[in-house]
A and B are shown apart, each in its own frame.
Chain A
Amino acid sequence: MSLTATLPAANAAAQTNGEPLNYLNNGHGIRSWLLTKDHKRIAILYLISVSIFFVIGGIFALLVRINLLSPNGLFEPDTYNRIFTAHGIVMVFFFLVPAVPAILGNFLLPIMIGAKDMAFPKINLLSWYCYIIGAAFALTALVAGGVDTGWTFYTPYSTTYSNSNVLLTGIGIFIVGFSSILTGINFIVTVHTMRAPGMTWFRLPLFVWAHYATALVIMLGTPVLAITVALMALERIAHVGIFDPALGGDPVLFQHMFWFYSHPAVYIMVLPAMGVVSELIANMSRKRIFGYKIVAMSSLAIAVFGFLVWGHHLFVATQSVYLGIIFSFLSYVVAIPSAIKVFNWTATLFKGSISFDTPMLYGLGFIGLFLIGGMTGLFTAALGLDVHITDTYFVVAHFHYVMVGGSLMGFLGGMHLWWGKITGRMYPESWARAAMVIQFIGFNLTFFPQFLLGYLGMPRRYASYPPEFQVLHVLSTAGATILGIGLLITIIYFIWSLKKGQRAPANPWGAAGLEWHTSSPPPTENFLVAPVVTWEAYDFTQTEPKAQ
């Protein structure tokens, strides 16, 4: 009998001896969690902390929408500035960037390649502590009155004029950046050095390819954010003239440096979610992803080209028009690998054995919403049209379609697909489907009116607006409420399922991939018998279809 055939049986055998030993019950007490070097437990630590920030960021989002119910606003303009800044900073740096890689990536990447753990388990834990320390700074700043610069910290306002907690927040972001870098190092080294025998590069699940590409972006981009924040602090504290024209600096230089990180950061947020969607689509249609290699390579192409488009944020910032033309062209180019993914996912569905379980609903939701987010990105990449829509709600709607419609859908889809694997319990399917549909409706109702608002001229970050925009703003707030309710339902049934959910079998979906060859939840060492891979990625002949 081959090793591959004995693997599932041997890994399942541990469950027959009473209480199955797994990573969750292998060690008790707070110390066993806070000093853990197990990538799965670190993923759980991230899940809890990132979820808390998601709720905080969500509350600020609702405050923004409540303010915009009436043309004159509910809050003072200065308070409103702090609210939308808090929403942006919390969601970008403390939720979207770490969500998929630090939770699902941490948990799944070693298992998917047949490894026992990450290459550097202690560095992995250090990354979580960096996150917590950075978060502590940001939360302190928030409690102390917040920041009013917007999440983009544009100079010279942030360095010279703002009276809010810019430094404290900047330090938090600086530190949390190292959390990303440490995770990125681990992903790259783990994929290079820890793959199981037979797990060649082109047998890697696309989830792993996407995370590898993301790690490249993290490693090459995040240090620039750290430098930019440090220079901003230097100018604010010591009045060294770098960005402020009054001191001999140039504010556009800040924008160049900020967006050199922050545009690729969009890919840090969405690439891992694309990896999740590849798994969702393949497993829920029981088909190998159409054009596997080109989808894998498109992740790398996004990682590389994503670094060459930052200037499209500066079209109206006195940037050279010649450079603008090049950035505009390159911004169109970066849409190609994203489009390749969308076409290939759609082609995968063709003649697939499709099931419409919740993970698939999120996968399809991602494709539809990311399509709108991506296509409206072409509007903003157009040098002429962008002049009209820069800093309007059109841009707000565009990036929420990418961030929420893309990253959040991918994250939630992944959480549903692997919830049984992570917790050992299944979520209630009918509630989950209903919540997904509610979120989908709520999301579109929130952000589609914002495209119209933006095109009509509603600027972003304004606390008040002319009365003729009120109908669309009220629709948007109603949508946000529905979206909030949908998300709340998901949080509630996930927590409920921890105690009451059905026990998850090793492979509840009939899915392909090494993570389904070990028990749910997996043992601390991931596999009781070291796997030897003799099959290609997404080989569904290795698995039985999902039991009906």
Chain B
Amino acid sequence: MSEHIVPKKTYYIIFFALMAGTALTVAAAFVNLHNFNIVVALLIAGAKAFLVVMFFMHVKYSTKLTKLWVAVGFIWLFILLAVTMTDYLTRAWLTYKP
């Protein structure tokens, strides 16, 4: 709930975790992972977003209904991105040239 008081220590830990994530992102950019550079960058960004949503936005201390809504929001974003990307992935799969 919004009344929940989070100890400062938690905020500091999350802050440093986010900074570490940023440093990791920069470091990973200098390693040539070919197509996986973007995957690694997005995974780190996703983990950072998760921390922000759970702790800074207090979702961890909220009701189940709020958690459900947050989850639904991200699932819908996933539908938008995943289905759209499926288009790009499968456009060239035609076995004949129209």
Give me the interface of A with B, judged by CB distance under 8 Å: 192, 220, 224, 252-253, 256-257, 260, 307-308, 311, 314, 318-323
Asked if B90 lies at the interface with its beta carbon under 8 angstroms from chain A, I say yes
Q: Are B87 and A311 in contact (CB under 8 A)?
A: yes
Residues A192 and B65 in contact in the complex (CB < 8 Å), given A220-B73, A253-B84, A311-B83: yes
Are B80 and A320 touching (Cβ within 8 A)?
A: no
* Residue positions of B touching A, CB distance < 8 A: 65, 72-73, 76, 79-80, 83-84, 86-91, 93-94
A-B contact pairs, 18 of them (CB 8 A): A256-B83, A256-B84, A257-B84, A260-B80, A260-B84, A307-B76, A308-B79, A308-B83, A311-B83, A311-B87, A319-B87, A319-B91, A320-B89, A320-B90, A321-B94, A323-B83, A323-B87, A323-B90
Q: Which residues of chain A are within 8 angstroms of B88 by Cβ–Cβ distance?
A: 320
A314 CA / B73 CA spacing, docked (Å): 24
- Bound state CA distance, A224 and B73, in angstroms? 11
A192 proximity list for chain B (CB < 8 A): 65
**Which chain A residue shows the least CB distance to B92?**
A320
Expressed in whole angstroms, the Cα–Cα distance for A260 and B77 within the complex equals 10
- Taking CB atoms, residues of chain B closer than 8 Å to A311 are 83, 87
- Give the complex CA separation of A321 and B89 in angstroms: 11
Residues in B neighbouring A323, C-beta threshold 8 A: 83, 86-87, 90
Cα distance A103–B83 in the bound complex, in angstroms: 35
Complex CA–CA separation, A319 to B84 (angstroms): 9
Q: Kindly list chain B residues whose C-beta atoms are within 8 Å of the C-beta of A322.
A: 90, 93
Q: Which residues of A contact B89 (CB under 8 A)?
A: 320
CB neighbours of B93 from chain A (8 A): 320, 322
Sorted nearest first, the 6 A-B pairs with minimum C-beta distance are: A320-B90, A320-B91, A256-B84, A322-B90, A220-B76, A320-B87
The CA of A314 and the CA of B83, in the complex, are separated in Å by: 13
Which of A252, A318, A322 gathers the greatest number of chain B CB atoms within 10 Å?
A322
CA of A257 to CA of B88 in the docked complex: distance in angstroms? Answer: 14
| Bound CA span A257–B84, Å | 8
Is there an interface contact between B84 and A320, defined as CB atoms closer than 8 Å? no
Bound Cα distance A314, B86 (Å): 14
Note all chain B residues with C-beta closer than 8 A to A320: 86-91, 93
C-alpha spacing A192/B69, complex, angstroms:
13
Bound-complex Cα distance A307 to B65 (A)? 21
Q: Are A307 and B79 in contact (CB under 8 A)?
A: yes
Q: In the complex, A252 Cα to B91 Cα: how many Å?
A: 12
Report whether A256 and B65 are in contact in the complex, using a CB–CB cutoff of 8 Å: no
Contacts of B76 in A (CB 8 A): 220, 307
Contact at B65–A252, with CB atoms within 8 Å? no
A320 vs B98: C-alpha distance in the bound complex, in angstroms?
A: 13
Report the separation of the CA atoms of residues A67 and B65 in the bound assembly, to the nearest whole angstrom. Answer: 53
- The closest CB in chain A to the CB of B73 belongs to A220
Q: Which residues of A contact B86 (CB under 8 A)?
A: 320, 323
Q: How far is the CA of A260 from the CA of B87 in the complex (A)?
A: 14
A321 to B95, CA, bound (A): 11
In the complex the two chains form, what is the Cα distance from A257 to B87 in whole Å? 13
Nearest-neighbour CB distance to chain A for B26, whole angstroms, equals: 23
Cβ-defined contact, A256 with B87, below 8 A: yes
List the A side residues contacting B90 at CB < 8 Å.
320, 322-323
List A contacts of B73 (CB < 8 A): 220
Residues of the A chain whose Cβ atoms lie less than 8 Å from the Cβ of B94: 321
A547 to chain B, nearest CB (A): 44
Q: Is the CB of A318 within 8 A of B91?
A: yes
A145 to B62, CA, bound (A): 49
A314: chain B residues within 8 A (beta carbon): 87
Whether B65 and A220, one on each chain, are in contact in the complex, defined by CB atoms closer than 8 angstroms, is no
Chain A contacts of B79 at CB under 8 A? 307-308
Least distance between A305 CB and chain B CB atoms (Å): 12
With both chains docked as a complex, state the minimum distance between the C-beta of A222 and any C-beta of chain B, in angstroms: 11
The residues of A that contact B87 with a CB separation of less than 8 Å are 252, 256, 311, 314, 319-320, 323
Shortest beta-carbon distance from A38 to chain B in Å? 26
The CA-CA distance from A256 to B91 in the complex, in Å, is: 14
What are the residues of chain A within 8 A of B84 when measuring CB–CB? 253, 256-257, 260
CB distance from B62 to the nearest CB of A (A): 13
Whole-angstrom distance from the CB of A201 to the nearest CB of chain B?
13
Bound-state Cα–Cα, A321 to B97, Å: 12
Chain A residues closer than 8 Å to B65, beta-carbon distance: 192
Give Cα A308–Cα B82 distance, bound, in whole angstroms: 12
